[in-house]
């Protein structure tokens, strides 16, 4: 590969650390920097309030119609979504820890990942030899 396509190791480390979830600084107005549990809890709570508003508008009810049971339901749904987001974070962190531990135990199996500048496709892919019926000799 040419030198113009190579990226320095420092730049690759910066990109990888920026992409990982939870490593970016959290900003209140940018939901893409929130943790998964806050994203899911906020999303489902907002959807609950939107569905209450849509129901009351469709059936021409006042905004306070059945407000206490519905607020309890929206709160429960938001808490369940928050819990599901926390479970997702825990699962992803556990999975990543297991994979990194396995990579530390078996470094020889992952040597090909150290070549950051890339390899030619001829080194990556296995050769393919087509075997078609019209080429066979039937006796």
| Residue at 27 is within a domain | no
pLDDT tens digits for 37-69? 999 999 999 999 999 999 999 999 998 999 999
| Residue at 91 is within a domain | yes
- Within 10 angstroms of residue 95's Cβ, the number of other Cβ atoms is 10
| Residue at 132 is within a domain | no
| Residue at 69 is within a domain | yes
First to last CA, the chain: 49
Residue in this structure with the two tokens 């943790």, named with its chain if needed:
35
Residue 64 domain boundaries: 35-108
pTM (predicted TM-score):
0.67
| Residue at 6 is within a domain | no
- Within 10 angstroms of residue 44's Cβ, the number of other Cβ atoms is 19
pLDDT tens digits for 82-138? 999 999 999 988 998 999 899 999 988 887 777 666 667 777 788 887 777 666 665
How many domains, in total, are found in the chain? 1
């Amino acid at each position: 590969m040419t030198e113009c396509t190579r990226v320095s190791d420092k730049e690759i480390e910066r990109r990888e650390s920026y992409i990982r979830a939870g490593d970016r600084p959290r900003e209140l107005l940018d939901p893409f920097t929130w943790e998964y549990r806050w994203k899911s809890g906020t999303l489902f709570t907002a959807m609950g309030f939107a569905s209450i508003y849509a129901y009351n508008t469709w059936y021409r009810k006042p905004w306070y119609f059945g407000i206490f049971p519905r607020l309890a339901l929206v709160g429960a749904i938001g808490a369940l979504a928050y819990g599901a987001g926390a479970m997702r974070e825990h699962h992803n962190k556990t999975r990543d820890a297991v994979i990194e531990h396995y990579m530390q135990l078996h470094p020889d199996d992952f040597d090909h990942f150290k070549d950051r500048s890339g390899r030619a496709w001829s080194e990556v892919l296995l050769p393919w030899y087509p075997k078609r019926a019209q080429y066979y000799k039937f006796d």
